[in-house]
Amino acid sequence: MATLSLRGPAGRSSRLEARRGAPRPDLGPRRVRMTTASAGGDSSTAEPDLRVRVNGLEMPNPFVIGSGPPGTNYTVMKRAFDEGWGAVIAKTVSLDAAKVVNVTPRYARLRAGSNGSVRGPIIGWENIELISDRPLETMLNEFKQLKKEYPDRILIASIMEEYNKGAWQELIERVEETGVDAIEINFSCPHGMPERKMGAAVGQNCALLEETCGWINEKATVPVWAKMTPNITDISEPARVALKSGCEGVAAINTIMSVMGIDLKTLRPEPCVEGYSTPGGYSAKAVHPIALAKVMQIAKMMQSEFSNTDYSLSGIGGVETGGDAAEFILLGANTVQVCTGVMMHGYGLVKKLCDELKEFMRKHNFSSIEDFRGASLQYFTTHTDLVNRQQEAIRQRKAVRKGLQSDKDWTGDGFVRESESMVSN
Ligand SMILES: Cc1cc2nc3c(=O)[nH]c(=O)nc-3n(C[C@H](O)[C@H](O)[C@H](O)COP(=O)(O)O)c2cc1C
């Protein structure tokens, strides 16, 4: 039974209230106290508080199991709750699992080092896995069972359907009946599903996305997060469409379209199935910098267009340390999802993530996640602005140096400025 109880029973009316009426925090940092403490500097003695409230959902910490193998059945989701994950997003389900046929091998890994190296640490992970191949009814029964055993913990269903209003709405109705707290829409799977006009095929087409989000939000009574594909020129465009079409949050990123490599002995691509392969989705540490850029773009857009309202952002991609998570939060993320990290390190990873995030907060004297959420967004600007700032800084440094070089350089007009340039405080 769950011990991290933070919210009341998840009745339909409370979820409805959370979806439609609860107060909405904005993206920016509200109480950034200090940002300059260094290791060994002043640390607050009070224990940092990792609890977050997102779209009315209360979580013991911001760490969420990302949709994929770590949320694929009752046993593993139960394990995630027992280990203390803030929320669990189940593996994506659709109405007819019979249409989902997986292959093996379906993963390939990239290690630091040269092609074929077997010793370096794993930095990249490609998968050509489809959405859940388990019968919908089985998954729904497991959601129900989990909500019965863990009524106070947050269980989020991930769903995907074909381009068909009736199918989407039927899936939402059936998933909501299990008592899940929210729904994440997989608009982002890069392989397999686009062939059926699903996943990234919708996330990459703003017109399709708008129409589909309309169907979804007409039906859903729990908060809806739209999961975005990074395989697009400007990720803030579909994110904007999803939010304008009624979604409460966006999650980014899903995997990046990739070819893991070519075996230089056999000349066959990896992962190799009967001698052939197909591009898959890239995840793990190697995608983290790309994910940060995408989350930053979305957060900037949300900050300027959706401020003061409760639209949430979930950062995903290559999280293995509390520091990786802090980076997403500093860019405005409310929650941080982990998928491949759990596949590599197991469910106990959440304890290390919490400890490291608290350590970071202690060093900066942050007592809550809201104390630093979005604090680094202000330091992003355009390249043109960087050039201007640098030229101005050089001009000022030169002016200072000039004033100090020799007594013959004193002038009448600039006398006060020249005097000030040599004052230390
Ligand atoms: C093997 C595997 C299967 C995945 N399956 C799903 C899925 O069913 N639905 C989904 O929305 N994302 C799926 N993902 C994407 C992850 O949820 C996540 O967005 C992505 O892997 C980046 O995060 P990470 O680096 O923490 O893994 C899958 C990822 C992996 C590695």
CB 318 within 8 A of CB 324: yes
pTM greater than 0.85 (yes/no): yes
Cα distance between residue 238 and residue 235, in whole Å: 6
pLDDT at 407: 81
Cα distance between residue 341 and residue 217, in whole Å: 31
> Which residues line ligand 1 at a C-beta cut-off of 6 Å?
66-69, 91-92, 125, 127, 129, 131, 158, 186, 189, 227, 254-255, 283-284, 287, 316-319, 338-341
pLDDT at 43: 46
Identify the DSSP state of 386.
Answer: H
Residue 143 Cα to ligand 1 midpoint, Å, equals 19
CB 268 within 8 A of CB 330: no
* Index of the ligand 1 atom closest to the CA of residue 107: 1
pLDDT at 28: 43
pLDDT at 46: 80
CATH no. of 12-379 = 3.20.20.70
pLDDT at 190: 84
The predicted-structure confidence for 233-286, as pLDDT tens digits, reads as follows 999 999 999 999 999 999 999 999 999 999 999 999 999 999 999 999 999 999
pLDDT at 10: 36
Neighbours of 408 (CB within 10 A): 5
Reference 54, options 81, 86, 82, 79; nearest CA is: 86
Is 206 known to be catalytic? no
CB 317 within 8 A of CB 258: no
> Where are the domains positioned within the chain?
12-379, 383-420
Ligand 1: residue whose CA is nearest its atom 23 = 317
Q: List the catalytic residue out of 189, 213, 247, 354.
A: 189
Amino acid of residue 18: A
pLDDT at 7: 32
pLDDT at 396: 87
pLDDT at 115: 64
pLDDT under 70: residue ranges of the chain: 1-45, 114-118, 307-309, 400-404, 424
